[in-house]
Structure 1
Amino acid sequence: ISDLHSVDAGKYWCGVTRTGIDIYTEVKLKLVQDSCCDTVTKIKNYEGYSESLSCPYESQYQNNLKYICRGNRPSTCLQQALITSDTKQNGRFRLNDDKVSGKFTVTINNLTQSDSASYLCGVQRNSDLDVFSAVELEVEEWCCVRSTKVNGTVGHPLTLQCPYPPQHRDNRKFLCKGDHRNNCTDMVASQSRFAIRDNGSSSFSVTITKMQADDAGTYWCRSDPQWRVGNYTKIQLSVVFLQHTSTLPSTVEMPGKTSTQITDAGHYVGYTAPPLLLLLICVFAVLVYKCKRQKAKDNETVMNINAQNEDALEEVMRVAENNIYESQEVVIYSNNEMAELQSAGNDYEDLGEDEPDLNVTTEEIFCNGNFHNAN
């Protein structure tokens, strides 16, 4: 009978015909709602933890098959079982049957948020409906974890404070390093520079004797190996580099070089400028200023010289123009001068003395006249 309805409940007869009286078998069909149960056990836990779901049963079912499934439908629970008492282990699920106490336990390791669901614990019965108990599991994301930020200096000691609850007084305390709590390295056991000290009933401290650059990162103070919320502290450690008291920003610009960015993941870096470098920068700035001033003066001098040259050129042009009109007078003057010189030559002949050099042309006299006028 598929897709059962409530009207299908009742008494049925199975019959076989034969000679004489037929054979009949009576069957009573009982229908119940495909859901469970009136009482639900609610459990909360966090990602990464392990959780055990407890499923009680009556003593007469000690040897019966036990199983667990997701959901709230008893009719399909056995077919979709995550684990049964016959398999014991299936991935992250493990089943342990305690027949003395009448309870079987299903443990889920490494919980994830997808494990949040309703579960049915089932006990198989051969002649009747299986018996179920319901569990509702809620897996929460990690939150509200104590987190602190600490700065340390390379080459200097540093002490980290780690609080823990009073009930963990006798527990082993340790400090581990890593981005995730489930994958970190115990620093006290692996590094001799890390020393742990229990301060009493509420905290312990870890001292790093000499800080190194690679000490920067994420640390976890633990007092409970099960990583329960509230039983550990997250520490973000940054390492600072210091050389002197005066520092420059992480971006340092130097003459003739490109900008240098001094960075390191998770680190704060201080850079100290040497005094000689500052002196060189100041001298360079003064030289640049003087060169600019001298260039401005040279430009002004050139402009003045150009102006004077223009004035002189205009004067020369004016004189040349005047000389054109005076050239005839110069020529007349030169002819008269030639006559006087020839007369003087004749006088020298009469005296019997050597004649002076009279090899002077009219062109030279004209040019000399121009030269004197120009001056």
Structure 2
Amino acid sequence: MECKHPVEETKAKFICKESEGECPERTYAKMQNEWQQNEGFSLYDDTSRGSLKVFFRNLSEGTYRCGVDVSEFTEQYIEVKVEVKEDPCCVKIISQAGNIGDTLTITCEHPPTLRANLKHFCKEDQNLICEDIRAARKYSLSDHSQPGLFIVTISNLTLSDAGVYWCGVETSEGDITYTSLTMSVRLNINNPSLPAGLYPAVGVSAALLGFALLLVIWLKRKKSSLSDSFYTRPPTSRTVSKKAQGQTENFL
């Protein structure tokens, strides 16, 4: 959800859930232009757009306030009434795979009643935030002839394209925009130049080979060190040893 407050773009922004007509617990965005993690949701104070973005992970029904402190005694907020509805299309989790360099097509589902709405496609990051990636040239979205579907095309696949994606739809009402994520896609990328299942074997073999080389080098150095100390240690080694011991005792 994105709430726009363009006039007060630099002021402190908050989100809260009403209880008996009041908002006793407000969560403020403490950082600007960076996601702030909270239990159940995340906040992003976007100063370039003068808006507050709220990413809900466990959405519950109720009335929310998305607002900004105008002054010490004044606040402005948008009241948002949230209803959670179940739909046969949502939420599905599927897996797809493609080869490096290929073009991949994903068929996304959404409620048929939202066919005219703007379509959304995003990729999860390490914080489970789904960042909009539609602006990148390698992604293209188009409507399907069948209601409730749209097509996402990803061109020139690379290993970095692997991950979890979400399909969704957007709804805009004045200064607030809602994005409902309706379908999750886990994308795996294969390298056709390597036989299937070879990645783990190659990794293990390389690790074992590296360990073996390090072990041989260490043994050679150890052997050389022992040989030098055995054949070249001077007969005054006992005196040197006592001095070393004395220095150590003084140091401690």
TM-score tier, shorter chain, comes to: 0.3 to 0.5
Q: Between the two structures, name the one with larger relative contact order (CA 8 Å, sep ≥ 6).
A: 2
Please identify which structure carries the higher helix content. 1
